[in-house]
Structure 1
Amino acid sequence: MNETLSKATRWEIDSDNRIKKAVVLLTRLPDYKVRALRPPTPTQFYSEDESLSSSDSDMQWEPGDDSDSDFSVSTNKLKAVKPIKSDTTRAHAASTSSNNNGTEMVPIVGFDPDTKVRPNLPEVELKVDMVVLARKRPMMWQRGKIVEIVTKEDGRLKYKVSFEEKGKSLVSGHHIASDPTPTLEQLYIGARVVIQCQSNKSLFRPGILAELPSRKNRLRFLVFMDNHTPVYVSLPLLHLVCRPLEDVLESLPDDCHKQFMERYLKDWPFPHLTQYKVGQTIHVELNGAQKSCAVQVVDCSLIQVVFEESQHEEWIYRGSVRLQQHMARILESKENEGK
């Protein structure tokens, strides 16, 4: 309405001071008074930049560049959330689309970040001339092509892979990973994966998926590599092993790391994490001995420490058996279980 009516009430009183009749009078206000009475619009309070950065804005973390064995963790940026889509559309978009930086956008809803159950999905068919990622050495997988499928006397299948970086290997299905990026529906806690090495993009490292994206980890995947190194990565760096063993822990070469992963998967989704603060002095195992170091960064489930003697920097999981404080808790827990 372009006009507002004000009300005035006039009371008529008879000679006995009793109310006789109520009369309502309506008066039209001029336009300038109407404009003055209207509530201000948002643009009168905030500029465009201010309104986007206000505390009421719905923000989410977007993964940045990631790395693996070099112990570096991605630099994260804040990005405003786009309009919500349906669960099906959201999950599909997250597994197929990228932002301008080439980083996969991962939703925080539409899937269960705590699931440990392998989805009942068809296995990838391995065939000749397929491009795959295959194991060349324990901590080094490379891209190659299947050139032959060999059937052993006991019926087991082996795959001869010719690598792009020269050389051939005859490997089992649990030493082959799909080259395409997996969809979110294929991923679960405990999945056998390989991740691309950022210092050398032709190399891939094997590991076990330990966290799916959530607000708690800033929409990233946590992977424990087979050498016990933890790293946060985004979806494009992940590749799913095609024929994982029934017991995925049998793929791990190190017994200490195998025991750690067994306990981790048993405790999930409530793993034991020790709390640390930046600047705190702690003791971490290095080359078989406990060394003094300082906490430099706390990043969700990880901490970055610098060792006092060597100034060596490293990312450590906050529930790692290398942490003296955490080891004491584990030993105490085992003692209590034995009583």
Structure 2
Amino acid sequence: MVSVPGAATAAGQAELGDIRKAIANVAKTDGVVGAIGEVYVDGKRVGRGTAGSRLLHGKGGLIPSGSRYRIASQTKLMEAAIVLQLVGEGKLTLEDKLGDVLPEMAEHDYVDRAAEITVQQLIRHTSGIPDFMASGKFDVFDFTTPYQPIDLVKAARTVPRQGEPGEYRYSTTNYVLLGMIIERVTGHDRAAEFERRLFAPLGMRHTYLATKVSDQIKGPHGHGYYPDDQGRPRDVDRLNATIGAEGAISTAHDVSAFYRALSQGKLVPADLQRQLPRPFPSMCGGTVASASGGMPGISSITFSSIDGRTQFAVAVTLKIDNEKAEAVGAAITKAAEAVLCPGG
């Protein structure tokens, strides 16, 4: 147990479970190369763990627990917060139609039914717009082809619609379009708005938005791997950041700062917070919620107490297809339960 004097943990307990043991158990899961995790209470680190290795086959030593890693789809929650800030500033409304904010989507038929789809539906994955990856036009191992956001949108147009506007269908294309809206409304590029609105004010000094066609993580970090056509794990430490809308690279400290501020109402106007695509509380008697992200070579989950005081940020590098890593996700959740609600 780790004592946390004077600070409430996720379930109001005075102690946390064994963090090092929990991370070590995650690292034993099939398909895992290395695992790191840190716990923060009221912004202060109270525990950390690392297990496995930095490189494949046990090489490279341990991953420093404070290393940078790709937070993948957790980036979407950050982007949603920025869009809602713009709504709060009167520069956009939730009811604005995609075809009005980005007229070319309707004029050139880049997005089916663009005149009906709202900003709110993009945020909440209820637009029915297909995911561009389903087009089969993009290669995980392509580190040389630069794409523009409109290229991804056009690729999604070749995929059959996933549902009617208003029906939930998860699709990263929604957030590609929201990124384009941020740039159109602010006149600044997406990375600059992330820095100005989130990273700088929250002291997320080790966080940045990857934007390059062949982008490597800065500083010491764990390498992830993805199986090629023959099933052999290939290093995907480099990834083409122009494919997608999930480019944030962060640390346990920084991502915890984001969730703390978000949960405590410091980022989004109070009347708009319910629009955030936040997960439902699912642990420690309903006092903890989680947000996850996965992409080739990485699975990351941040658990945060509803009051925003406690965070447990976990990142796991993989050597298997992250879409088939259900056991890894289950192991991370089990580790969080052991750490955040050890009595329960």
Structure 2 length as normaliser, TM-score?
0.25
Larger strand proportion, structure 1 or 2? 1
Higher relative contact order (CA 8 A, sep 6+): 2
The structure having more radius of gyration, on CA atoms, is: 1
Structure 1 length as normaliser, TM-score?
0.26
